[in-house]
C-alpha cells in the first residue's frame, strides 16, 4: 500500500536509487547531501514530500535519483539526518538491492563539530571524527572536544 | 598498573582502579615533593611544557614535579613566542616538539587540542587544560586532596558551588567523583548550572545530583565544599555579577553551619569568593590542594615515563 501510493505520486525509475522513509521535511537536506544543485543535475530527481507512510501512520519524504547508485559515505550521511531511511538500488526497473541506512560506530569526515572552539574548526590538518552514541535520533560525540554534535543538518560536510 | 607511554587527555581515560593507583603513588611522592628525600628517577628525561594560555599553578607544579625527579624541562609560555604566531599549525608544532622531549604537557585555548596533540605525537601527551574542556591532572589532585583529608572518596558528600557552567575543573571532578559513588550537590544560579551534557553523563553513570541555588540549605551535610570562581566576564550586566558573586561568598559566618571536619577547596586563583578569614580555619584546604599538584604530577610523570621511586 505504502509503495503503491508513493509510486502513483512519483513515477518508477529504470536505473538509480530510491531513498524511502526519509523523515518528513528532510528531503531537501538529503538533496544537499547528494550534492545536487542547479548546475550539476544531469539526471532526473523526483521528490515526494509529505507522502503518507503506512509504516508509521504518519508522513514521510521519498526521493528517486535516476542513473546514480549511492556510495557508503553518502548513505552514512543520510543516516545522520534520516535514520529510518531505506535505500533501494534499482536496475532495469527491478530492486537489485535494498537496505536500511545505518551509522557506523565511529564516523569520519561526514560532519563538522558544532563547537566553534573545537580544535577541528581551527584550520588543523585533521578530519572531524565522532563516536556514535545513539542512532535514532543520532547522537554523536566529537572525538576531539568531547562535545555532543548539535544541529546535524547544518554541520554536514 | 601499566601507564608507561600512555596519554592522559581526559579523566574518562582512567577507571577507578587506575585513579586509586595514581593517588596511592602520589602519597609516596610527598617527601620527595617537599624535598625531604631526593631521588632523580627521571634523570636524562626531557619534558616539553607547552603553555599556550596563562597558567601559574599548573605550569609551575609540572616544572617542580619534573625538577624533583631529575627530569629536564623545556618550555613555551606564550603563543607569540612560537612559530604558531607565524601561522604554524598545532599539529606541526607538536611533531617538532615531539622530537625534543620524552613527554609533552599541553595547555591550549581550544577544546580537543590535547587529543589532537596525542594523535600527532609519538611520545605521551598530558592534557594540562584545553579551553573549556578537560583538565585531568587538576581532577587527580582534587581527588588526592579529598582522599588525604577524608581517608576515602567512597560515598563522600561533595557540594560544588559557583560557576558550574564554565568552570572546567568541576566538570571532570563531578565525573570522577561519580566513579566513587559520591553524593553531589550542585549549588549555582540556573544560568551557571552544570551543562546538560555533563549532567546527563553523570546521571547515566549512576549519580543522582541535587541542584539548588541556596548554599545555606545544603552546607550542613557537606563533607567537602568545592568553591569555584565566578568569572566577571561571563556577565554582560555588572549588577547581575555582583548579585550572583555575593550569593556565594564563603566566610566564617556560613561555615558555622558546616560540620567541624568539612573541608573547603578551591582550584585557585580566588578573587573574593573565599574571605581571607577562612584561611586560618581547619576547613581551609586550598593551599594544600595547590601543593598537592606537585606529588600528583610527580606520580603521573613516574608512571608514564617509567620512573620507579621505590627502586634502587
Q: What is the pLDDT of residues A110-124, one digit of tens each?
A: 899 999 999 999 999
**Among residues B151, B214, B226, which one has the least CA distance to residue B184?**
B226
DSSP string, B44-88: T-EEEEEESS--SHHHHHHHHHHHHTT-EEEEE--GGGSGGGGT-
Higher pLDDT, B197 or B143: B143
pLDDT at A157: 83
| Cβ within 8 Å of B, A 85-124 | 113, 115, 117-120, 122-124
Mean pLDDT (chain A, rounded) = 87
Residue A74 has pLDDT above 90, yes or no: no
Of B36 and B192, more confident: B36
The shortest C-alpha distance from B134 to chain A (Å) reads: 9
Same domain, A96 and A125: no
3-state class (DSSP) for residue A152: helix
Mean pLDDT, rounded, for A44-69: 89
- The percentage of residues in chain B with a pLDDT greater than 70, rounded to a whole number, is 97
Q: Determine, for residues B133 and A124 on separate chains, whether the beta-carbon distance falls below 8 Å.
A: no
Are A16 and A72 part of one and the same domain?
Answer: yes
Residue A13 shares a structural domain with residue A78: yes
Of B115, B48, B103, nearest to B77 (Cα)?
Answer: B48
| d(CA B153, nearest CA chain A) in Å | 26
Q: What is the pLDDT of residues A93-112, one digit of tens each?
A: 999 999 999 888 999 988 99
Is residue B286 pLDDT above 60, yes or no?
Answer: yes
Mean pLDDT in residue range B7-20: 95
Question: Looking at per-residue confidence, does B184 or B195 come out higher?
Answer: B184
Q: Which CATH number does the domain housing residue A127 bear? A: 2.30.30.20
Instruction: Name the 3-class secondary structure at B157.
Output: strand
- pLDDT at residue number B217: 94
Judgement on whether residues A91 and A114 belong to the same structural domain of the protein: no
Q: Looking at the complex, report in whole angstroms how far the Cα of residue A124 sits from the nearest Cα belonging to chain B.
A: 6
Answer yes or no: do B110 and A117 touch at CB < 8 A.
Answer: yes
ipTM of the complex: 0.88
Same domain, A58 and A77: yes
- Residue B312 and residue B297: Cα distance in Å, rounded? 21
Task: Give the mean model confidence (pLDDT) for residues B117-131.
Answer: 96
- Supply A5's cell numbers: 501510493
Contact B76, B52 (CB under 8 A): yes
Mean pLDDT computed over B210-225: 95
% chain B with pLDDT above 90: 77
Report the C-alpha gap between B11 and B9 in whole angstroms: 7
Number of CB pairs < 8 Å for A and B? Answer: 55
User: Which residue, B312, B259, B268, is CA-closest to B288?
Assistant: B268
**pLDDT over 60 at A2, yes or no:** no
Q: How many helices and strands in chain A, by DSSP H and E?
A: 3, 8
- pTM here? 0.88
Query: A7 and A75 share a domain?
Result: yes
Sorting pLDDT into bands at 50, 70 and 90, what band is A4?
low
Q: B295 pLDDT exceeds 60? A: yes
Q: Which domain holds residue A18?
A: 2-100
Q: Which candidate in B112, B133, B139 is best for mutational testing of the A interface (most A CBs within 10 A)? A: B112
Q: From the candidates A146, A147, A149, A150, which should be mutated to test the interface with B, based on the most B CB atoms within 10 A?
A: A146
- Compare CB distances from B112 to A120, A123, A125 and report the shortest one's residue: A120
Residue A67 sits in the same domain as residue A126? no
Domain limits, CATH 3.40.50.1370, in chain B: 11-134+291-305, 137-289
Q: Give the pLDDT band of residue A38 (cuts 50, 70, 90).
A: low
Cis peptide bond upstream of B269, omega within 30: yes
Evaluate if residue B279 carries a pLDDT over 90.
yes
- pLDDT for residue B77: 78
Whether residues A27 and A64 fall in one domain: yes
Contact (CB<8Å) B12/A144: no
pLDDT tens column, B30-68: 999 999 999 999 999 999 999 998 888 999 999 999 999
Is pLDDT above 80 for A147? yes
Spell out which chain B residues touch chain A, with contact meaning CB-CB distance below 8 angstroms.
10, 12, 89-91, 108-113, 115-116, 119, 130-134, 197
Quote the pLDDT of residue B2.
86
Cell of A147: 562535545
A71 with A42, same domain: the answer is yes
Q: Is the pLDDT of residue B89 over 80?
A: yes
Judged by CB atoms closer than 8 Å, whether chains meet at A119 and B134 is answered as no
Q: ω into residue A137 within 30 of 0, thus cis?
A: yes
Mean of the per-residue pLDDT values of chain B: 93
Based on the structure, what is the number of domains in chain A? 2
Q: In what helix (H) or strand (E) does residue A66 lie, and over which residues does it extend?
A: strand A58-66
pLDDT at B312 over 70: no
> Does residue A112 sit in the same domain as residue A51?
no
Third-level CATH fold of B137-289: Rossmann fold (3.40.50)
**Same domain, yes or no, for A118 and A47?**
no
Residue B214 pLDDT: 93
A41 and A96 belong to one structural domain: yes
- Domain containing residue A63: CATH number: 3.30.70.140
Query: Model confidence over A125-144: pLDDT tens digits?
Result: 999 999 999 888 889 999 99
Output the pLDDT for position A43: 82
pLDDT higher than threshold 50 for residue A1: no
Q: Which runs of E-coded beta strand occur in chain B?
A: 46-51, 72-76, 103-108, 125-130, 157-161, 183-187, 210-212, 224-227, 263-265
With contact defined as beta carbons under 8 Å apart, do B53 and B129 qualify? yes
B130, closest residue in chain A (CA to CA): A145
Q: Is A30 within 8 Å of A63 (Cβ atoms)?
A: yes
Confidence bin at B271 (pLDDT 50/70/90): confident
For residues B239 and B241, what is the distance between their CA atoms, to the nearest angstrom? Answer: 5
Class of domain B11-134+291-305: alpha beta
Amino acid at each position: 500500500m505504502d509503495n503503491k501510493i508513493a509510486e502513483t505520486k512519483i513515477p518508477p525509475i529504470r536505473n538509480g536509487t530510491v531513498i524511502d522513509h526519509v523523515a518528513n521535511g528532510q528531503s531537501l537536506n538529503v538533496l544537499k547531501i547528494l550534492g545536487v544543485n542547479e548546475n550539476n543535475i544531469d539526471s532526473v530527481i523526483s521528490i515526494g514530500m509529505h507522502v503518507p507512510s503506512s509504516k508509521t501512520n504518519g508522513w514521510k519524504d521519498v526521493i528517486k535519483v535516476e542513473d546514480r547508485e549511492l556510495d557508503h559515505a553518502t548513505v552514512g550521511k543520510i543516516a545522520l539526518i534520516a535514520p529510518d531511511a531505506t535505500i533501494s538500488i534499482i536496475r532495469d526497473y527491478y530492486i537489485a538491492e535494498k537496505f536500511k541506512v545505518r551509522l557506523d560506530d565511529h564516523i569520519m569526515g561526514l560532519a563538522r563539530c558544532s563547537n566553534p572552539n573545537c580544535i577541528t574548526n581551527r584550520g588543523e590538518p585533521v578530519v572531524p571524527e565522532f563516536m556514535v552514541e545513539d542512532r535514532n535520533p543520532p547522537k554523536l560525540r566529537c572525538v576531539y572536544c568531547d562535545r555532543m554534535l548539535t544541529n546535524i543538518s547544518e554541520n554536514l560536510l | 598498573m601499566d601507564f608507561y607511554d600512555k596519554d592522559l587527555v581526559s579523566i574518562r581515560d582512567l577507571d577507578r582502579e587506575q585513579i586509586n593507583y595514581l593517588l596511592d603513588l602520589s602519597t609516596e611522592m610527598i617527601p620527595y615533593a617537599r624535598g625531604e628525600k631526593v631521588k632523580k628517577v627521571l634523570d636524562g628525561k626531557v619534558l616539553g611544557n607547552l603553555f599556550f594560555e596563562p597558567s601559574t599553578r599548573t605550569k609551575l607544579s609540572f616544572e617542580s614535579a619534573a625538577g624533583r625527579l631529575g627530569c629536564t624541562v623545556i618550555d613555551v609560555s606564550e603563543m607569540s613566542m612560537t612559530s604558531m604566531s607565524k601561522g604554524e599549525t598545532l599539529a606541526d608544532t607538536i611533531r617538532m616538539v615531539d622530537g625534543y622531549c620524552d613527554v609533552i604537557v599541553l595547555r591550549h585555548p581550544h577544546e580537543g587540542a590535547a587529543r589532537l596533540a596525542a594523535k600527532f605525537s609519538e611520545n605521551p601527551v598530558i592534557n594540562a587544560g584545553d579551553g573549556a574542556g578537560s583538565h585531568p591532572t587538576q581532577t587527580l589532585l582534587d581527588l588526592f586532596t579529598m582522599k588525604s583529608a577524608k581517608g576515602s572518596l567512597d560515598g563522600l558528600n561533595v557540594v560544588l558551588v559557583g560557576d558550574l557552567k564554565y568552570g572546567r575543573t568541576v566538570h571532570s571532578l563531578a565525573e570522577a567523583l561519580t566513579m566513587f559513588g559520591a553524593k553531589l550537590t550542585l549549588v549555582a544560579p540556573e544560568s551557571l548550572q552544570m551543562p546538560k551534557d555533563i549532567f546527563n553523563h553523570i546521571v547515566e553513570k549512576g549519580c543522582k545530583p541535587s541542584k539548588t541555588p541556596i548554599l545555606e540549605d545544603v552546607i550542613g551535610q557537606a563533607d567537602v565544599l568545592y568553591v569555584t570562581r565566578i568569572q566577571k566576564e561571563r556577565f554582560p550586566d555588572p549588577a547581575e555579577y555582583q548579585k550572583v558573586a555575593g550569593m556565594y561568598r564563603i566566610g566564617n559566618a556560613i561555615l558555622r553551619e558546616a560540620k567541624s571536619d568539612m573541608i573547603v577547596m578551591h582550584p585557585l586563583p580566588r578573587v573574593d569568593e573565599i574571605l581571607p578569614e577562612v584561611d586560618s580555619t581547619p576547613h581551609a584546604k586550598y593551599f594544600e590542594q595547590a601543593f598537592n599538584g606537585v606529588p600528583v604530577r610527580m606520580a603521573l610523570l613516574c608512571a608514564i615515563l617509567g620512573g620507579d621511586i621505590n627502586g634502587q
